[in-house]
Structure 1
């Protein structure tokens, strides 16, 4: 059997972030960005990305801690080594994600989609999505860049979000 170590992910996808170290044995806090938080552990291998450098890691153990998780990486056994990865992004290769059905999409796919209201007026381009307790928020860079204000549109499908077209990369919203 050939064991090939990948140096960096193919089509990188952000799925979480490393927090501060936990304890003296190299455990680290982790914040999951996956819809079901525990799913972050189904996507292996992980890469830590910090200062444009990818480091492939293998999670040896993990447990729920307060509202997030703590993890133990097989090559990190002390607090000072763990601290080096604080604030690293957790990245995977896109091919690790489940295949989508028609009319399904991942959040990072709709970044850069054009946004139009139901009157076909161009509002701007999607630059981010924010998860909140009540509903998610679509962050759109306003068409008039001089305003330097983003538009925050509640991501409520069929009420405000009327259509997401993955083929032509646009979103229709009920918004003025």
Structure 2
């Protein structure tokens, strides 16, 4: 299985300012979106600048999230963090339930057909209205495969780093 203890995962981004007391607008990539506050400490990265913070808190505000960062008490201090990415250690996430997978754990896995033909590796996944989609790339092409367990996805083996699919390699 891919090492998960020390891997960092991108879980959000500071996208703007809110008010004059140092609050920021936060885009969360977690589901549900406020779950981002349960995974701390955060590593804020902006260019070459990195800062670990603990105790960030926030609330839903309309369609977005407003966050208060520790030791950021005015608008000018908060402005310095606009554009920063929010990273966490993979080890902070709870264990996935049986048959469920974190996208971050699937990215990079080899995808092979039930006949053993390699289709490439999972570059990333996309959420669609119907189901999630794996973006599978090899040296020559990119394929979009539905992540539908049972129909397309026959097996996921995190230990061996492989996803087995029922898919025509010519498609």
Fold shared per TM-score above 0.5: yes
Structure 1 unaligned residues grouped into runs of 5+? 1-8
Q: What does 1:12-23 align with in structure 2 at a 5 Å threshold?
A: 12-23=8-19
Report deviation, 1:24.
2.5
Report deviation, 1:132.
3.0
Secondary structure at the counterpart of residue 31 of structure 1: strand
Question: Is residue 106 of structure 1 aligned with residue 98 of structure 2?
Answer: no
Structure 2 unaligned residues grouped into runs of 5+? none
Secondary structure at the counterpart of residue 138 of structure 1: strand
Q: What does 1:27-176 align with in structure 2 at a 5 Å threshold?
A: 27-100=23-96, 104-141=100-137, 143=138, 145=139, 147=140, 149-176=141-168
Secondary structure at the counterpart of residue 34 of structure 2: helix
- Counterpart Cα distance in 1 of 2:83 and 2:142: 26
- Per-residue CA shift, 1:115-141, capped at 9, x if unaligned? 112332211111111223332221111
- Per-residue CA shift, 1:8-31, capped at 9, x if unaligned? x94322222221222232211112
Instruction: Give the structure-2-normalised TM-score.
Output: 0.82
Query: When the two structures are aligned, how many residues end up with a matched partner?
Result: 164
Query: What value does the CA root-mean-square deviation take over the aligned residues?
Result: 2.2
CA contact (8 A) 1:63 1:70 kept: yes
